[in-house]
Structure 1
């Protein structure tokens, strides 16, 4: 599983809580989302992920990891985990016709795996070879495949059929996952802990929202679109017309 993969996974565990006073059934009846035909089931899994898995397992583990693991060790472990994903980044860049990204990812993997002591030190970034992260789910999106229905997967969090297939394919690229299950599991665990730790500061904001479930679902699909379009999200005609009017107004001053 890659970096969206893990970050989205952890976000689902964090945000699965029921912040409003309404019951799951009452909230589910408020609106119908064509992207979320399984909303009743998804909201139940949302509550389970947050109230049980995150509260008793993931969050305490992430807090302990941050408190007791030296920062230099955390950085090294995360660098190693990221380095093991470079082969999948390279292939996914290639499948999208991004040759520059392909060579950068492969160069990063070779350089960090050797000079960087198996990825412990991110030497490549120090010389300007910044990470070109791509997922197979993004490749499928580029090829025109829709996400399918929104899914709140038990223990995994927000997802969709396209992303799930992408995660499976990305995992098959990893040289460690194919050779040693335990090292592959460690890689995913490190990414999950770091991602969960990075979300601690956002807990209050998320828990205070009227409907965290709907908020995160919207953010999830926006994030997928952002990745597939490489940040070039298409605007509606109304939005473009409004921006033109604003620009014309400002030009008068």
Structure 2
């Protein structure tokens, strides 16, 4: 009943957060078709042939790389304790954790924050702007689209000189992440009447929560139970 109440109905007024809705819906349909035709089959094959411990190790490896970007963004937000945690995680997991394949840092009490440049821009007061669905990359906002450029510059994979290695690792990261979300995708598709609105609302509320470190200002016009949804 909650899901039905959140679904958008055809012919309703345009959401002020989403003035680009016609373009976004077209891009969303393209992304969904591309995902079902190409990405999902590869992700399902990857999950089928990859043993669970290996899959978890690959996910840990890329999460370890993401701690580099997170540490930089925590410094930019003057969250020094969080930046220290990110640096500690990076050091421990890259050494004792064998290049990050084993997440030792979590077991010793160092939490993972995964800050990005879009969150940094939000921390310093830049409004999210219009909701935007980007081709291939999916949900975003004007602010997060700008932030994506900063994240790309800070991505450790960018510094790899061999293009074959760089794009190979990027491809593995995309497929590994998509494989981890296969079950979530199936649940969302079955539960929602308007998948586009479902994803948009979940994304916007999740980003709002991340920018405010789990304590966002409440908007009485919007449901608040998506704060715990991971996308």
TM-score, normalised by the number of residues in structure 1:
0.76
- Distance of 2:153 and 2:179 partners within structure 1: 27
The residue number in structure 2 matching 1:32 is 14
| 2:103 equivalent to 1:134 | no
The residue number in structure 2 matching 1:197 is 179
Q: Structure 1 pair 116/205, CA: closer, same or farther in 2 (3 Å)?
A: closer
The residue number in structure 2 matching 1:74 is 55
Contact 1:90 1:106 in 2 (8 A): yes
- Distance of 1:144 and 1:228 partners within structure 2: 10
Q: Deviation of residue 35 (structure 1)?
A: 1.8
Contact 1:49 1:157 in 2 (8 A): yes
Q: Which moved more, 1:134-143 or 1:177-186?
A: 177-186
Matches within 5 A, 1:14-93: 27=10, 29-51=11-33, 53-93=34-74
**Unpaired runs of 5+ in structure 1?**
1-19, 21-25, 240-253
Contact 2:188 2:195 in 1 (8 A): no
Q: Deviation of residue 81 (structure 1)?
A: 0.9
Q: Deviation of residue 215 (structure 1)?
A: 1.6
- Distance of 1:110 and 1:214 partners within structure 2: 40
- Distance of 2:187 and 2:54 partners within structure 1: 28
**Unpaired runs of 5+ in structure 2?**
1-6, 223-231
- Distance of 1:212 and 1:200 partners within structure 2: 15
- Distance of 1:75 and 1:213 partners within structure 2: 30
- What are the superposed Cα offsets for residues 34-70 of structure 1, whole Å, 9 maximum, x if unpaired? 221211111111111112x111111111111110011
SS at match of 1:131: coil
Q: Deviation of residue 165 (structure 1)?
A: 1.8
- Distance of 1:230 and 1:65 partners within structure 2: 34
- What are the superposed Cα offsets for residues 51-108 of structure 1, whole Å, 9 maximum, x if unpaired? 2x11111111111111001112112211111111212111111111211111111111
SS at match of 1:231: coil
Looking at CA atoms only, which structure, 1 or 2, has the larger radius of gyration?
A: 1
RMSD: 2.4
Number of aligned positions between the proteins: 213
- What are the superposed Cα offsets for residues 166-213 of structure 1, whole Å, 9 maximum, x if unpaired? 122122123332224444444443443333233333324434422111
| 2:90 equivalent to 1:109 | yes
- Distance of 1:61 and 1:99 partners within structure 2: 40
* RCO higher in structure (CA 8 A, sep ≥6): 1
